[in-house]
Amino acid sequence: MTRIAVCSRSFSKHPILRAELTARYGRSVTFNDAGLSLSGQALIDFVRGHDKAITALEKLDDAFFTALPELRVIGKYGVGLDMIDLESMRRHDVRLGWTGGVNKRSVSELVIACAIALLRHVPQANAEVRAGQWRQLMGRQLTGKTVGIVGCGHIGKDLAGLLNAFGCTVLANDILDFPEFYAAHKVTAVDLETLLTTSDIVTLHLPAGPSTRNILNAERLALLSPRAILINAARGGLVDEPALKAMLSQGRLAAAAFDVFHDEPPDDLELLHLPNFLALPHIGGSAEEAVLAMGMAAIKGLEDHCLP
């Protein structure tokens, strides 16, 4: 009999996903009903005895796969794979059920929301009105701006389409080339330095890894215009956060919005309290529609899977 361990706390308490999985597999499912943040030995102990598992942000390393020879399939709840040691997964012949891009519209809409909020000084204006001040802050429109997308995968492509509706000039930088997509959506492929120096808004959509860690270091951040806005709704660690803080506090960058941080939750209170910095608690995929789509994809992945 197939036995399934649901490691994710949010999946375990989602009534629709829980009902769907139970309808398919009945009593053979073990949910994380204790609401534990599973890692290390606790994660291994929870999954032990199951041949399939649904995971989200849990770290699946070589020790995990080595300790669980009975595990055959991982259904991934969410689109990021940076928490999984894919090489070890292949070595242990564990298959992956994963669908990319199922939360793309949720993240794209959040990026648009952040861009407009910062261009129009929405967080600052809200804070001032609540404090008893009444002044009309002069902002800028998103319409007609040059937006640079760093990483043109599922989310980057979806965002490019939305930006077309605002009449934006869209630039893209990616290690891959997508000439047909670029032509169809009026996107111009450029090198990273050109994108940084010419964009009014720069938005990051890259995976985390050795090649992308601190990809926007102090030197590259300095290429941004003082009127530019930086948005990171991808992964923490892509930006040198201390260098960003210095630029924001010194007026060398207009504003920034981060949904992800090197350490989560972030503990740099000086950065978080800057009036031109919008901090969010990793909610890019936290739209009801996206959560449901990611969960259904994870369930599908229990049967529809392959070696990573």
- The active-site residue out of 9, 50, 121, 235 is 235
Rounded CA-CA distance 255/249 in Å is 10
27 catalytic per annotation: no
90 catalytic per annotation: no
- What are the two backbone dihedrals, phi and then psi, of residue 249, each rounded to the nearest 5 degrees? -70, -25
- The active-site residue out of 70, 219, 264, 288 is 264
| Token pair recorded at residue 121 | 């000084």
- What are the two backbone dihedrals, phi and then psi, of residue 235, each rounded to the nearest 5 degrees? -140, 150
- What are the two backbone dihedrals, phi and then psi, of residue 202, each rounded to the nearest 5 degrees? -115, 130
264 catalytic per annotation: yes
Residue ranges with strand state E in the chain: 4-6, 29-31, 52-55, 73-76, 95-97, 146-150, 169-173, 187-189, 201-204, 229-232, 255-258, 277-279
Asked whether the beta carbons of 200 and 226 are under 8 A apart, the reply is no
Point out the residues that are catalytic: 235, 264, 282
